[in-house]
Structure 1
């Protein structure tokens, strides 16, 4: 199913990445960001960051980066 670009942008504007990603990754607030263990690789030290202000996540262990839609 293909969604209209305006619909996708509206979703991204309404959803906080930490709320959506936090349903599958245990996140802990650290300053202005949230941090947790990578959902893409096994690790013991958190290297997965979510920034609601900027609307993206970044996983330093795997190099993956994206918005709430690309995470899904």
Structure 2
């Protein structure tokens, strides 16, 4: 199923990706990006970026 680009843009404006990911991954703002521990593997140093 394909969605029109205008629909996807509206969703991105209403609900930032960092807000969605932040519900499962503890994120910390670093400059213009959000950074956290990867949900895909065990790590001690954050390497997961959301921008």
With normalisation by structure 1, the TM-score equals 0.56
Q: Structure 2: where are the runs of 5+ without partners?
A: none
Larger radius of gyration: 2
Runs of 4+ in 1 over 4 A off after TM superposition: none
Q: Give the number of equivalent residue pairs.
A: 50
C-alpha RMSD of the superposition: 1.7
Q: Structure 1: where are the runs of 5+ without partners?
A: 52-72
What is the SS of the residue equivalent to 1:12?
helix
